[in-house]
Every structure is written in structure tokens, then in C-alpha cells.
Amino acid sequence: QVQLVESGGGVVQPGRSLRLSCAASGFTFSSYAMHWVRQAPGKGLEWVAVIAYDGDNKHYADSVKGRFTISRDNSKNTLYLQMNSLRAEDTALYHCARAIDISGYWHAFDIWGQGTKVTVSS
Amino acid sequence: EIVLTQSPGTLSLSPGERATLSCRASQSVSSSYLAWYQQKPGQAPRLLIYRASSRATGIPDRFSGSGSGRDFTLTISRLEPEDFAVYYCQQYGSWFTFGQGTKLEIK
């Protein structure tokens, strides 16, 4: 079935780095734009980044621009989020999500992973 | 950045009642690129409505969306026990932003 499974979360000190992965299955991963969305404990949803189906275009929320990098390996059906210079306010559950349609960015997110937890603390 | 403001923050209703949730944007949402999601504790968000009024696959017809421009509404015609959750609106016409959520709780 169509599925996204995140991994790579953990506890990390401020200023350090972490790389998240999102393994996709059950659909043609290389056809869809993909997103990262995070949710701080007890808070709402915050969009983090998007990458085009072919990896050529990427965009970021201002809160992570210059620190986070989104990437994908279509041969491995996997999405990544490299997080550098982590801050306490980056503590959240990180979900990957798929755009509902294959053309462009401007779509709702129809498939979500369960998330991987990132805690930034000394 | 388009800011979405959802109201009310919490809505207390009984099963069988009608729920009306609102989402107001700080500026007009391009092409009605507005979605609604449901999230239950410990679960990922679930897409309910996209393009303001189109139901996602498998969503019961008691869920409906309406609106355009800056004002949008999610209506649940007759609440079922499984509908009590947090609901988020999202605009995806000018990058991506979410509202702060409306908690729908059992009265």
C-alpha cells in the first residue's frame, strides 16, 4: 500500500546536525513533489521544505533557511532532510508528506508518514 | 506570508450535531488552494478537503468545504464519535501555511 516511513530522529545537542530519511513505497516516488512538515510538542503544523519531483527545485520556510537541506534519491525512493545548526526550537515531530498531484508544487498533501521525533537539548 | 486564523479555538458539540469550522486568510488565497486536515492524538494528519471544496479519496460525504477569497468553512453535517479531533486549514497557493487548529471536543 501507499506508505511513507520516517527515520533518523533522536536527541541532539544545540548546534549539532541530524539527517532524517523518509522511505516511500506503493507509488511512483519520482513523479511527486515531497514535503517536510513539523509539529512541536502540543503545537500545530509548520511547513518546513518542499522538493520538486526531480530534485531540481527546493524551497524552505524562513525558520530553517540556510540551516536545513531537503534532498531526494529517486533510485532509492527516499526523501532526506539534513538539519544543521540545530536549535531548541527545532524540537518537533517531523513528518514527510506527498503532494496529491504530480504536476508542480501547488497541491495539498494527501499521504503523510507517522513522523520521527527530534529533540534538541543540552 | 499568508496567515490563516481558525475559529473557534475549541468547539464543544454532541454526536449528531452539525459542526461549522472557520478559516480566515490574511489575504486572498490563490485559486482557492485551501485544504482541511483532521488529526487525532498520536496520528498523522489526514487530508479531508482540497481546493476548498473537493473531498479527498475515502472521505465521507458528511464532510464538506466551502468558501473562496479569504473566508473558508469546513462543515460536518452530523457528527460521528470518530470525528472528534483537531482540524487544520492550510493554504498552498503562496507557499504553504497552516492555521493554528480547531479542537472539536465532545460536549
Question: What residue in A sits closest to B31 (Cα-Cα)?
Answer: A106
CB contact under 8 A, B47 and A110: yes
Relative to beta strand B63-68, strand B71-76 is: antiparallel
Which pLDDT belongs to residue A104?
82
Residue A103 has pLDDT above 90, yes or no: no
DSSP state letters, chain B: ---EEEE-SEEEE-TTS-EEEEEEESSPPGGG-EEEEEE-TTS--EEEEETTTEEPTT--TTEEEEEETTEEEEEESS--GGG-SEEEEEE-SSS-EE---EEEEE-
Which chain B residues have any C-beta within 8 angstroms of a chain A C-beta? 1, 31, 33, 35, 37, 39, 43-47, 50-51, 56-57, 88, 90, 92-93, 95-101
Give the C-alpha separation, B20 to B30, whole Å. Answer: 23
- pLDDT, tens only, A35-52: 999 999 999 999 999 999
CB contact under 8 A, B43 and A35: no
Residue in this structure with the C-alpha cell 519520482, named with its chain if needed: A30
Are A94 and A116 in contact, with CB atoms under 8 Å apart?
Answer: yes
Give the C-alpha distances (Å, rounded to integers) separating A42 from A29, A91, B89: 31, 11, 17
pLDDT band per the 50, 70, 90 thresholds, residue A91: very high
Percent pLDDT > 90 in chain A is: 95
pLDDT less than 70: residues of chain B: none
